[in-house]
Chains A and B, each alone.
Chain A
Amino acid sequence: MLYDALIQPFIEFGFMRRALVACLALSISAGPIGVFLVLRRMSLMGDAMSHAILPGAAIGFLVFGLSMWAMSLGGLVVALVVALAAGAMSRVTPLKEDAALAGFFLISLALGVLLVSMKGSSVDLLHILFGTLLAVSNGALLLIAAASSLTVIALALVYRTLILECFDPGFLRAVGGRGGLAHATFLALVVLNMVAAMQALGTLMAIGLMMLPATSARMWTISIGRMVGLAVLLAMLSSIAGLIISYHANLPSGPAVILAAGFVYLLSLAIGSNGGLLRRYIRRPHLEH
């Protein structure tokens, strides 16, 4: 019975297994990336950056048709340029990084929609934005695996610098740390993960797998290391739950995965041990000191 519900879909159908592998691999890198987005107060900037992928992917689509590699490469290049340009603008003009990025991503989004409509249909646009999790190709799986591995290694290298850069950038500068380099590396990793997730979850949904488990983890622990681990775990559990539910209820799988993560998020908000609502409203006797 339980076997039928939980295991059998993955045994029986190759597309379910591929979707599962894609989601699990994405979870490993999206978890820690999300934690740093939360810590850097860049939660909404990930969303903005995901739009910047669109014109690049659209150019790839216009020139090479529905080729996963062309669209990924185009998206990667354009989004990297936008992210780094926004970062640079915030350093040389009085604009803050979020304002600079907002300007660039709005241009990108409009440009992307325009480019897609020149050749494709709105169905193609939907695929780019929301992905097709049950039709993940071998190439896309390889890209996801590579991006995920690269992310974990690169994050390990800039981990300490990133934390100090978020916490006390002045001190990092005074002791000669390479804060700017760590920040640029991190932005590049964010973009890489969104591009990798494009075919599976779509650029918009991919942000969900980054942000929801990470914000949920923040509600349970105050240790950054534990937050990273917990975010990965929650992302994986949401992926599995989402896929199984989408299979039995015949729902689109990408949104099901993100909604599962969303459910975990709402639950964490309610009962999280680190500032959850329940703790706030249930009075417990105070301690002696």
Chain B
Amino acid sequence: MGRGLVGNPIEAVLSRARDHHHHQHAAQAVRPAAPILELNDVTIAYDRHPVVHHISGAFAAGSLTALVGPNGAGKSTLLKTIAGLLPVTAGAIRFGIDRRAVAYLPQVVDVDRSFPLRVIDVVDFGHWRKVGALRRLDAQDRTASVAAIASVGLAGLENQPIGQLSVGQFQRVLFARLMVQEAAVILLDEPFNAIDQKTTADLMQVVRTWQDEGRTVIAALHDLEQVKREFPDALLMARELVAWGPTPQTLGDENLAQARALAASWSDPAAAICAR
């Protein structure tokens, strides 16, 4: 990690972010820091029905934000759109970085677990942006893969077939693959769903390391206690934005009640055309 490749745009952004981060600590500067990702009146609709409705705001470089909201609030949709897998219906998402420096871990990774691959093979795919379909992995890439596997607690299992891993172990492998991607912005969709406590704690440690390295992490989560404990910032949404900022204020009782009230109103089928 942080191999300092000269001329690598992702590394450049990261080192800038890292400087900023340290500066922030030293001077106890108040937020907001430079935005790395800006949502400008973003609306995302499936078949004209908005799932994310007029959301504006910015993610500071190096921030660690939890995306919170009731079921159907549009958290996954927002993450997918930031990852570039869904189009924005109205408004715009502005990136302060190369768009390709965004890595995304979906809620359900639709993979065939009986596929004949080893742990190291899956993690090596994280180098795709660098090596593409044809180029060879160099020694540095291989070292990075092995190091990533070790840092998610799977050292020694490099050659294990993925079919023999538990659900938690496989999630660790996916985290290692994310790590190898060296992304400046990392999007996680319910990364701790159906994962045991020990694995959750270990992977949360990995997330903290990412933040220390200056990466920006946005994670959709449903465990409010975990969010309050671990995430300095929160974005509370219920299709529209309810609150966005430091976690204690954002997840105040009033805001949570408002989010629930919004969720209760979604069953109304006679939606008028949005006038906003």
A and B pair up: yes
A residues with a Cβ closer than 8 A to B are 39, 41, 157-158, 160-161, 163-164, 166-178, 182, 218, 221-224, 227
Binds A, one of B1-9, B125-133, B216-224, B226-234: B125-133
Question: How long is the Cα–Cα vector from A113 to B106 in the complex, in angstroms?
Answer: 48
State how many angstroms separate the Cβ of A191 from the closest Cβ of chain B. 22
B residues with a Cβ closer than 8 A to A are 83-85, 100, 103-104, 106, 109-112, 115-118, 122, 125, 128-129, 132-134, 161, 163, 177, 181
Kindly name the residue among A157, A175, A182, A218 whose own CB sees the greatest number of chain B CB atoms within 10 A.
A175
Given contacts A160-B134, A167-B117, contact A222 B110 (CB under 8 A): no
The answer, among B83, B112, B116, B177, for a CB contact under 8 Å with A223, is B116
Task: Assess the A175–B128 pair: CB atoms within 8 A.
Answer: yes
Nearest to B100 among chain A residues (CB) is A176
The answer, among B83, B115, B161, for a CB contact under 8 Å with A174, is B83
Task: Assess the A174–B84 pair: CB atoms within 8 A.
Answer: yes
Task: Assess the A170–B100 pair: CB atoms within 8 A.
Answer: no
Chain B residues whose C-beta falls within 8 Å of the C-beta of A171 in the assembled complex: 109, 125, 177
Task: Assess the B128–A173 pair: CB atoms within 8 A.
Answer: no
Chain A residues whose C-beta falls within 8 Å of the C-beta of B181 in the assembled complex: 175
Q: Given known contacts A170-B85, A223-B116, what 10 new A-B pairs fall within 8 Å (CB)? A: A39-B116, A164-B125, A167-B122, A171-B109, A171-B125, A172-B128, A176-B100, A177-B132, A182-B133, A222-B163
Task: Assess the B106–A170 pair: CB atoms within 8 A.
Answer: yes
Task: Assess the A174–B111 pair: CB atoms within 8 A.
Answer: no
Given contacts A157-B134, A158-B133, contact A227 B116 (CB under 8 A): yes
State how many angstroms separate the Cβ of B27 from the closest Cβ of chain A. 37
Nearest to A178 among chain B residues (CB) is B133
24 residue pairs from A and B, CB less than 8 Å apart:
A157-B133, A160-B133, A161-B133, A163-B117, A167-B112, A167-B115, A167-B117, A167-B122, A168-B109, A169-B110, A170-B110, A171-B177, A172-B128, A173-B85, A174-B83, A175-B128, A175-B181, A176-B129, A177-B128, A177-B133, A221-B116, A222-B163, A223-B118, A224-B116
Main SS class of interface, A: helix
Task: Assess the B133–A224 pair: CB atoms within 8 A.
Answer: no
Nearest to A224 among chain B residues (CB) is B116
Chain B residues whose C-beta falls within 8 Å of the C-beta of A158 in the assembled complex: 133
Question: How long is the Cα–Cα vector from A224 to B163 in the complex, in angstroms?
Answer: 14
Chain B residues whose C-beta falls within 8 Å of the C-beta of A176 in the assembled complex: 100, 128-129
Chain A residues whose C-beta falls within 8 Å of the C-beta of B134 in the assembled complex: 157, 160
Given contacts A223-B116, A224-B117, contact A170 B109 (CB under 8 A): yes
Chain B residues whose C-beta falls within 8 Å of the C-beta of A41 in the assembled complex: 112
Chain A residues whose C-beta falls within 8 Å of the C-beta of B122 in the assembled complex: 167
